[in-house]
Amino acid sequence: MAEGKQGGTGGAVAGRIEQALEVCRPALRADGGDIELVRVTDDAVAELRFLGECRSCSLSVMTLRAGVERVVMHYAPEIRRVEAVP
């Protein structure tokens, strides 16, 4: 299990991030993609991985910043930043 997805406070944050990702997924899946939470770092960075068509999409950075990050930070305000990881 990835760091931040375990029990305790980190698990609560990860759970809210997962809720946020569920809000984002319909739009991503409509284009053949998806997204997953990899981990939450000790310095409150949510590391996410794009899947499917989103991995090679030239607009994925904009999707991450303008869409996914906003939703994640709404559901989990303690998150300082969202980063895409390979």
> Would you state the pLDDT for residue 8?
47
- 5 pLDDT above the threshold of 50: no
> Would you state the pLDDT for residue 10?
67
- Exposure string over 61-80, b if 16+ CB within 10 A, otherwise e: eebbeeebbebbbebbeebe
> Would you state the pLDDT for residue 68?
96
pLDDT in tens, 10-55: 689 999 999 999 999 999 999 999 999 999 999 999 999 999 999 9
pTM: 0.84
Task: For the chain, list the domains and their CATH numbers.
Answer: 8-84 (3.30.300.130)
